[in-house]
Amino acid sequence: MGVLKRKDEKTATVTVRVPASVKAEIDRLRGETDTAGFDLNATMSEAVVRVTKQMREELTRLNGRNGGRDRGVKTAGLADGNGVA
């Protein structure tokens, strides 16, 4: 077992519109999680990664079921879980 650790992948900013009530709750959670010693950004980032992988898997299954026909869903350029497009 090695002791070397790989560098984390570089991050980028994504802008997503959510209802104002959700934004307000995230702002409240940010304060509470900071006080409790948690990293809300890391938690939310991991959640986005999981959902993105689930969407990719679902689209892959759908594309397999429709015989590879394009159903108007643009999938080119999305990276897999390993950062490979």
Residue-level pLDDT at 49: 94
Residue-level pLDDT at 6: 82
For 55-66, what is each residue's pLDDT tens digit?
A: 999 999 999 876
Residue-level pLDDT at 85: 43
Q: Give the domain ranges of the chain.
A: 20-65
For 18-45, what is each residue's pLDDT tens digit?
A: 999 999 999 999 999 999 999 999 999 9
3-state per-residue secondary structure call for the chain: CCCCCCCCCCCCCCCCCCCHHHHHHHHHHHHHHHHHCCCHHHHHHHHHHHHHHHHHHHHHHHHHHCCCCCCCCCCCCCCCCCCCC
Residue-level pLDDT at 84: 46
Q: Mean pLDDT score of the chain, rounded to an integer?
A: 83
